[in-house]
Structure 1
Amino acid sequence: MTGRIVARYRKLVFFTWFLTLDLIMFGAFVRLTDSGLGCPDWPGCYGKITPVGASAHIEQALSSMPYGAVSFSKAWIEMVHRYVGSILGMLIIAIVYFSWRYRRELGHSLRLAVVTLVAVCVQGAFGAWTVTHQLMPLVVTSHLLGGMLLLALMTWLAAREKTHAPVSALAVRWRPWMICGLALLFIQIALGGWVSTNYAALACMDFPTCHGQWVPDMDFRNGYSLVRGLGVLPSGEMISQQALTAIHWVHRNFALLVFVYLGLLGWKMRTDPGLRGPAHLLLALLAAQLLTGLTTIFFQWPLLIAVLHNGGAAGLTLVCVTLLVRLARAKDRIPT
């Protein structure tokens, strides 16, 4: 009986983890296709459950603004994202129930599952605010970070259910370095989200210089003015090219720091049998992330590459969390 319960719980956790990763990728697709306001209200679409019921409103919006934020395709993209998000929330509720109902059989604390449930509720709130605040960059970037945090928590839940080769006790020395690496990664994801939500991906069209200069003319104060609407400054003026350049330049150069730091860390950890698999994956994802980032510039932000770049950030998050979970197990084995 206990074996069946544990097997069902693991299937539930792994499926929910996979759906979380898919939802982050699809969320990037929503953002990059400008579908975030495909249904400009929440939680429905013009008060209806599906865009089919809102067809009259969508037709009216299309006729008044043919190239605006609303269309049938964008409405469906946005609503499918919301539907999947709702399913994800229900699955996490099921994980909490399993964790509480069978806590003795599973041998896990309920705490992590409850934190994950709180995180998905907060994430749902940010999803609503993304629409009601008209794609305000700060809200959209926070929504992206919330998605990555949710993925990190789900990875934690999934990683502790997976067996692997033993991690040597000496490897515990890498744990604080990995925590620092994960923090740097989240800062870089926030910077990347700020680039995406401000449409600054093409602010620099050359590489490694920007506008032919290592340090181009930039406006950091307005570029990183947080409380403002999309494309405008707090004063109501349109955001300048210099501000967009600052946003892009900071993300590009901080990426170099993250690449070198995590690359060296992954190279060191690959020698431990229990860390070798995720360490090699970390190195591969860093290389892929560099490639998609450069391709985004040289090919002027193609949709598929931009989505893959977001997916690479998600992949790096889950690999770093997996390494942390394994390093924590190594710490638990150190004799006292």
Structure 2
Amino acid sequence: MQHHFRKIAKIALVFVYLVIAAGAIVRMTGSGMGCPDWPKCFGYYIPPTEATQLQWQPEREFKKGQVIIVDQTLQVANADFKTASEYDPQNWAPYTKHDYALFNPWHTWIEFINRLFGALAGLATLVLAIFSFRFWRHNKKITLFSWLVVFGMGFQAWLGATVVYSVLAPAKITVHMVMALLIVALLIYLIHTTKNSQGLTYQKNLAKWLLMAFVATMVQIILGTQVRHFVDEQIDVVGETAKHLWLSDVDWEFYVHRSFSIAIVVLNLFLGRQIWKHKLGFSKINWVLILIGIEILTGVSMYYLDFPFATQPVHLIIASVLFGVQFYLVLEVFRAKKFVRA
């Protein structure tokens, strides 16, 4: 039973990471408003591929809720109807969530795929939660946390809608990202708690240092989102092609983010040395160090090489994977510490 549960949990975790990866690509390509409404896309379950689909045409059937663009505004069909020879404004109502009314098929489908992965992730977590009822008699915590993941996914979907309605407000994007990491943490906890850990030993103060490293990673991720907001604002000012100007006139958050990475490297190298020296068996520290190395390489390349292609989404994706691996390592160490005390 635990084996099947962990397999479903891992599938759900993969889908959540695919959502994070898709979200990173959405930000890189500027496709966040590719679908200006939610949960549909221009009022369609399958989004349009051509601009003509969003234009008023005579003798054309529209379904209630479908959207067209008229004079740079979004107009929503009031009911199912067929158009006459001339445009009748009484059949339409203006979209009131925001005034963004642009269509780019490339952006639309990138955002649609992002939402599709989100739906698949939600379905996977729902299956996990239903399966978790088998644990109710002997471990209610697994069932409760599984359903907490489902409610978290629902809340995350609502956050996604607010991000769209706000026309990609930076603060809302940050909250959206933090919530995604919280869902990752819950799934990793469920995967870990249903596994029998063997071959792990504990050394005094290891948990304290590891927890400190994990908190440092969280702080670094939050600082990174602030730097990303600054870059987004610079893009609006200098344009997408002037990459050499994206990090001009940076504020204090950038310098803290850059310098803090040195402390993170030193701290995790110290942890790795302790684990290797005393043969404690926590092999995931190797992945932590590899991921930190990739983070530094992508960060340096963005600064000195003017944002090479895909370095931004890779930087974000690796940060989220680092968070997950490090959190699993924290759980392993605290379990080993608990066994030592027992």
How does the TM-score come out when normalised to structure 1? 0.77
2:32 pairs, out of 33, 36, 42, with 36
Q: Which residue of 1 aligns with 2:133?
A: 100
Paired residues of 1:175 and 1:327 also in contact (CA < 8 A):
yes
CA 1:255–1:34 in structure 2 vs 1: closer, same or farther (change >3 Å)? same
Spell out the pairing of 1:259-278 with structure 2 (5 A cutoff). 259-271=265-277, 273=279, 275-278=281-284
Distance of aligned partners of 1:305 and 1:45 in 2 relative to their CA distance in 1, 3 Å threshold? same
| Pairs within 5 Å for 1:18-167 | 18-52=14-48, 55-56=51-52, 70-104=103-137, 109-167=142-200
Percent of counterpart pairs with the same letter? Answer: 23
> What amino acid is the match of 2:322?
L
Contact 1:266 1:282 in 2 (8 A): no
Look up the match of 1:212: none
Distance 1:335-1:183 versus aligned 2 partners, 3 A rule: closer
Is residue 195 of structure 2 the alignment partner of residue 199 of structure 1? no
1:182 is the counterpart of 2:214: yes
**In 2 relative to 1, CA 243–116 (structure 1 residues): closer, same or farther, beyond 3 Å?**
farther
Q: Which stretch shifts more, 295-304 or 132-141? A: 295-304
- Letter of the aligned partner of 1:99 in structure 2? S
Aligned to 1:313: 319
- Which region of structure 1 is more displaced relative to structure 2, 161-170 or 139-148? 161-170
* Equivalent-residue separation in structure 1 for 2:329 and 2:173 (angstroms): 28
| Aligned-partner SS, 1:333 | helix
Correspondence for 1:257:
263
Q: Check 1:128–1:303 CA distance in 2 against 1; reply closer, same or farther (3 A cut).
A: farther
**Change over 3 Å in CA distance of 1:160–1:271 after alignment to 2:** farther
Q: CA deviation at 1:128?
A: 1.0
CA drift at 1:63: 10
Match among 330, 333, 342 for residue 327 of structure 1: 333
Distance across 2 between alignment mates of 1:70 and 1:273: 57
- For residues 41 and 58 of structure 1, the distance between their equivalents in structure 2, rounded to whole angstroms, comes to 14
Residue 203 (structure 2) aligns with? 170
Secondary structure of the corresponding residue to residue 46 of structure 2: coil
| 2:200 and 2:282 in contact (8 A); partners too | no
- What's the TM-score, normalizing by structure 2? 0.76
Which position in structure 2 is the counterpart of 1:297? 303
Whole-angstrom CA distance in 1 between matches of 2:137 and 2:325: 29
Deviations 1:194-223 (A, max 9, x none): 2223326989xxxxxxxxxxxxxxxxxxxx
| 2:278 is aligned with 1:246 | no
Indicate how the Cα distance of structure 1 residues 55 and 269 shifts in structure 2: closer, same or farther if over 3 A, else same: farther
Q: For residues 56-111 of structure 1, what are the alpha-carbon distances to aligned partners after superposition, in whole Å with 9 as ceiling and x for unaligned? A: 4657769969xx96310110110111111112112112212211234347786323
- Which structure has the larger Rg over C-alpha atoms? 2
C-alpha displacement of 1:30: 0.8
Specify the code of the residue in structure 1 equivalent to 2:217: L
- The number of equivalent residue pairs is 295
Bigger shift: residues 106-115 or 326-335: 106-115
**Distance in 2 (alpha carbons) for counterparts of 1:242 and 1:301:** 13
Deviation per residue, 1:310-333 (Å, 9 max, x gap): 122012111111111111221221
Contact 2:231–2:247 (CA<8 Å) still a contact in 1?
A: no
Residues 141, 193 of structure 1: 8 Å contact kept: yes
Two-structure CA RMSD over aligned residues (Å) = 3.1
Given the alignment, which residue of 261, 281, 291 partners 1:285? 291
Shift of 1:189: 0.8
Distance 1:88 1:72 in 2: 24
Return the alpha-carbon distance in structure 1 between the equivalents of residues 231 and 30 of structure 2.
Answer: 11
Deviation digits for residues 95-152 of structure 1 (CA, Å, limit 9, x no counterpart) = 1221123434778632322332232222212211111111111011111111122212
SS in 2 for 1:20: helix
Unaligned runs of 5+ in 2: 56-67, 74-100, 238-245
The answer to whether the Cα contact below 8 Å between 1:166 and 1:273 also exists between their aligned partners in 2 is no
